[in-house]
Amino acid sequence: MKRLFKGLPWTSLLLLSAAGTALAAHPLITDDAGTVGKGSVQIELNYQYTHAKNEGVREDEHEVESVVTYGLLDHVDLVLALPVLFTRADEEGFRDREEGVGDMSFEVKWRFYEREGLGLALKPGITIPTGEEDRGLGAGRVGATAFFIATQEWEPFAFHFNLGYMRNENKVDERKDLYHVSLAAEWEAAPWVTVVGNLGAEADTDRGSDTPAAFLLGGLIFPVTEWLELDVGVKAGLTRPEGDYSLLAGMCFHF
């Protein structure tokens, strides 16, 4: 079958989705340095629709991701994430559709410093090739990620910084060494809503491109109860390797 998924780096999106949003206050891409606490469980159900049009190819992806976080210690979390993808590409009347499980990720977050509103954490992880690479749903090989995370809180504001490296081992001829850098801000505008913003960039998986995939994101988080949060967001691509735009929504349960 002719493959059309060439304009948008889907494998990179899967890596960053796993590595960048496992505990971040969705819809943010940038993670925060917080942990859930010993014995606590957090379950996230997140949705993202991404649209891109490049060189005459229109690409659309729907992603539903499930993320489970368990507090092994007060300062150490175990995080497991699994995306399910629905992709479609159209070029000159030819349509290509795929759906299925993407690559699973497993991460450990260690918050090693916390004082006067400043938190620092490290989050290494691996990606497990549960998605079929020949259908554009995964990389085909085990990959690795490592992130440095910093959070500074000045109520009612919080600021987050991420610097990450991703070893994109793959069977689809993509760039293997990827980076990620991003900044995010949160403003608790009222007890019932938090306004969030996010700016970031990461290396393009296309070996022939030196242009990073850069994005700008804005969203709202609604704390419905002590154990449930809802959120919505919009992400815009600032460079060609990034999708033109994404729509995001999610829910987070705390136990």
Residues in the chain: 255
Phi, psi angles (nearest 5°) of residue 220: -135, 140
Q: Which domains does the chain have, with CATH numbers?
A: 10-254 (2.40.128.130)
Which residue's structure tokens are 């690409």?
59
Contact 129, 140 (CB under 8 A): yes
- The amino acid at residue 240 is R
Burial 158-191 (b: 16+ CB within 10 A, else e): bbbbbebbbbbebebebbeebebbbebebeeeee
Tokens matching residue 209? 């491109």
Per-residue pLDDT tens listing for the chain (255 residues): 334 444 444 444 555 544 444 346 899 999 999 999 999 999 999 999 999 988 778 999 999 999 999 999 999 999 999 999 999 988 877 888 999 999 999 999 999 999 999 999 999 999 999 999 888 889 999 999 999 999 999 999 999 999 999 999 999 889 999 999 999 999 999 999 999 999 999 999 999 899 999 999 999 999 999 999 999 999 999 999 999 999 999 999 999
